[in-house]
Chains A and B, each alone.
Chain A
Amino acid sequence: MLLTGSEIVIEILAQEGVKVVFGYPGGNVLPIYNSLALNKKDIRHILTSHEQGASHAADGYSRAGKGVGVVIATSGPGVTNIITGLATAFADSIPVVAITGSVPKKNIGTDSFQEVDTASLTLAATKHSFFVKDISKLAETLKSAFEIARSGRPGPVLIDIPSDVQNDKWEFEPSQEKYIEEYNEEIEIEDIERAVELINKSQKPIIYCGGGAAKRNCGEIIKTLAEKTGAYITFSMMGLSAISAKEERYLGMAGLYGRMSASKAMAVSDLIIAAGARFSDRGTGRKEKFAPNAKIIHIDIDEAEHGKVVKADIEITGDVKKALELMTEKAKENKRESWQKEIEDIKKEYAEKDNDPFSPLKIITKINEMTSPDTPVATDVGQHQMWVSKYYDFKKPNTYLTSGGFGTMGYGMGAAIGAALAVNGRSVLFTGDGSFSMNFNEVATAVRYNIPVTVVVLNNSGLGMIRQLQDSFWQGTRFSTELERKTDFAKIAKAMGAEGYRAENMEELINAYSEVLKTNKPAVIDCIISDEEMALPMIPPGGAIEDIIK
């Protein structure tokens, strides 16, 4: 059938099973917006307040388990506004397809209105990008964009289409092909055998999981491997939600702001089985001091991750789940009781205290108790993110959405909107007063579409995490980190049409959240916490476990 470029876009979106797209219109994507308006494929468009919000929403939709997220933006400022979202998705390997309109071909290179070199600007923030100058290539390029975004190590892919190409016509052949998720399970069996030899010899094994393991739902196999071999489990921030924090062999998140017992256990272990983790500096601290006595088995789908930060003794490139399954099958059963005893002692040594009656720990634990385990939970970036990572018990895969790699303040609100749409239910956002001030414009989006996001602001009247760094390493010179604003988030929420609450103690929090859960409306609960709360203990950036600040 003879279709315009923009109609072809709709056809391919439908073929890829896309149900929701996030975006913002502008002159150079108008043909696509017109086709979206007329589409009979039930593709829903969510208009956000800002393109950045749309890009994070597409990312959140994907993280919450809906495959590839889609964001649409116009040329020029539309493109620059989604770059933060693309970079965030890229850093955490999230499959997103960004469709941008660009100036008509005849205007390219003339510095015309809203013209920008999209390819150059987005190059470092995407897995790949395409510029489609020829309508005959549009359908196959769109299909490739989806394929590249989700295959191997996933990531964002951008496809830039000049507005005249969106209007050009081409004979389109609809395809009945449906995408079936499959994994290349080819693994070098010799590598597995060498890895198993190391596991059998080890006295103190640790399984360290990253986002790759969480996304591949490796929870069960990790537990089985740990039980069989007496290994303990730690996660990077991206690994969270692969298994429940209550699991016996789980030590918690490792890294600068993680559980010190987890970092200490890694420091003394003699073998680290890293599964889908990339040894980020936030997870490992000073790399020369990272697990100095340990041999390392590194499993990753992306060959280029091997040797990038840490030189592993055994590098396994391939599907992380398959590799773990093979290791579990072949490893000898061994309870490793002396390791168990040592871990118990470490746990006692690093037990954390909490005396504040309205502490982040108590707030997060209470929200956790009152929230269904299926509810996706997003964060922004700061101390609150570290507290949630440490204290929230994620029982189901794909329920934790956080900007681990890029650390994007302003990520959470868009992500929580995307996640709520993905699960067709409630989502929770834990945020700080700094981060929320960057993105509360998207409360308007949640209100417009009645998307039930509950925002819990851990309001410590400042940019807590940076303030903490100033307190610890800059002689307490708090500059530009005390917000000293008069913003009332509960009133803002109400003014935007959402529910708004303020809580200064546990009782007020419980009452507010109970009210929220009775409705199906977006809501903001502004929790006023002490500005003395610290994300402690911590390992200073570039430090090691012995540099711990308690």
Chain B
Amino acid sequence: METINIILTANNAEDLILRITAELHKRGFEIKSFMYNVDKFDVAKIGITAVGEISKKEQILRQLYRLYDIKQADLKAC
């Protein structure tokens, strides 16, 4: 288990937080910190620190990116 940092850019949809946290939970990641900021164009920037299997980090990015409102998903070096 290792810590990863994820940065997401998304449409600020109503239940987006629910979807992101559910996706992380489903894929076996535990959230340690979660930051959610919305700009004046209603674009959300989300920073997540999560603990999970490091071998699955590319996978979790792809799964998050697949969520309808997410426009970009990246990993940030810890």
| Chain A residues in the interface with B (C-beta under 8 A) | 119-120, 123-124, 127-129, 131, 148, 302-304, 306-308
Are B68's CB and A128's CB within 8 A? Answer: yes
A123 is contacted by which of B14, B19, B63 (Cβ under 8 Å)? B19
Mask: chain B, 51-76; 1 = CB below 8 Å from A; 0 = not: 00000001100110111100000000
Are B68's CB and A131's CB within 8 A? Answer: no
Are B68's CB and A148's CB within 8 A? Answer: yes
- Contact of A124 with B26 at beta-carbon distance under 8 Å, contacts A119-B18, A302-B66, A304-B63 already known: yes
Are A307's CB and B58's CB within 8 A? Answer: yes
Q: Nearest Cβ distance between residue B37 and chain A, in whole angstroms?
A: 22
Query: Top 8 nearest A-B pairs by Cβ distance?
Result: A304-B62, A128-B68, A304-B66, A304-B63, A119-B15, A123-B22, A303-B62, A308-B59
Q: Nearest Cβ distance between residue A151 and chain B, in whole angstroms?
A: 10
Are B59's CB and A131's CB within 8 A? Answer: no
- Specify which chain A residues have a CB less than 8 angstroms from the CB of B15 in the assembled complex: 119, 123, 129, 131
Q: Nearest Cβ distance between residue B23 and chain A, in whole angstroms?
A: 9
- Specify which chain B residues have a CB less than 8 angstroms from the CB of A120 in the assembled complex: 18
CA separation between A474 and B76, bound complex, in Å? 48
- Chain A, Cβ-Cβ closest to B69: A128
Are A123's CB and B59's CB within 8 A? Answer: no
- Chain A, Cβ-Cβ closest to B62: A304
- Specify which chain A residues have a CB less than 8 angstroms from the CB of B18 in the assembled complex: 119-120, 123
Q: Nearest Cβ distance between residue B38 and chain A, in whole angstroms?
A: 18
Besides A128-B67, A148-B68, A303-B66, 13 new A-B residue pairs in contact (Cβ under 8 A), listed by A number: A120-B18, A123-B19, A123-B22, A124-B22, A127-B68, A131-B15, A303-B62, A304-B59, A304-B65, A304-B66, A306-B62, A307-B58, A307-B59
CA separation between A131 and B67, bound complex, in Å? 16
The winner among B22, B58, B66 for most chain A CB atoms within 10 A is B66
- Specify which chain B residues have a CB less than 8 angstroms from the CB of A148 in the assembled complex: 68
Q: Nearest Cβ distance between residue A508 and chain B, in whole angstroms?
A: 49
- Specify which chain B residues have a CB less than 8 angstroms from the CB of A124 in the assembled complex: 22, 26
- Chain B, Cβ-Cβ closest to A119: B15
Q: Nearest Cβ distance between residue B25 and chain A, in whole angstroms?
A: 9
Q: Nearest Cβ distance between residue B32 and chain A, in whole angstroms?
A: 22
- Chain B, Cβ-Cβ closest to A304: B62
Q: Nearest Cβ distance between residue A91 and chain B, in whole angstroms?
A: 13
- Chain B, Cβ-Cβ closest to A131: B14
CA separation between A304 and B15, bound complex, in Å? 21
CA separation between A119 and B19, bound complex, in Å? 9
What are 17 A-B pairs at a CB distance below 8 A?
A119-B15, A119-B18, A123-B18, A123-B22, A124-B22, A127-B68, A129-B15, A148-B68, A303-B65, A304-B59, A304-B62, A304-B63, A304-B65, A304-B66, A306-B62, A307-B58, A307-B59
- Specify which chain B residues have a CB less than 8 angstroms from the CB of A306 in the assembled complex: 62
Q: Nearest Cβ distance between residue A153 and chain B, in whole angstroms?
A: 8
CA separation between A124 and B66, bound complex, in Å? 13
CA separation between A131 and B58, bound complex, in Å? 31
- Specify which chain B residues have a CB less than 8 angstroms from the CB of A119 in the assembled complex: 15, 18
- Specify which chain B residues have a CB less than 8 angstroms from the CB of A304 in the assembled complex: 59, 62-63, 65-66
Q: Nearest Cβ distance between residue B42 and chain A, in whole angstroms?
A: 14
CA separation between A119 and B68, bound complex, in Å? 14
CA separation between A212 and B15, bound complex, in Å? 29
CB interface residues, B 29-62, toward A, < 8 Å: 58-59, 62
- Chain B, Cβ-Cβ closest to A306: B62
- Specify which chain A residues have a CB less than 8 angstroms from the CB of B66 in the assembled complex: 302-304
CA separation between A158 and B13, bound complex, in Å? 15
- Specify which chain A residues have a CB less than 8 angstroms from the CB of B62 in the assembled complex: 303-304, 306-307
CA separation between A120 and B63, bound complex, in Å? 18
- Specify which chain A residues have a CB less than 8 angstroms from the CB of B68 in the assembled complex: 127-128, 148
CA separation between A225 and B42, bound complex, in Å? 48
Q: Nearest Cβ distance between residue A528 and chain B, in whole angstroms?
A: 43
Q: Nearest Cβ distance between residue B29 and chain A, in whole angstroms?
A: 14
Q: Nearest Cβ distance between residue A155 and chain B, in whole angstroms?
A: 10
- Chain B, Cβ-Cβ closest to A148: B68
CA separation between A119 and B13, bound complex, in Å? 13
- Specify which chain A residues have a CB less than 8 angstroms from the CB of B26 in the assembled complex: 124
Q: Nearest Cβ distance between residue B36 and chain A, in whole angstroms?
A: 17
CA separation between A141 and B67, bound complex, in Å? 16
- Chain A, Cβ-Cβ closest to B58: A307
- Specify which chain A residues have a CB less than 8 angstroms from the CB of B58 in the assembled complex: 307
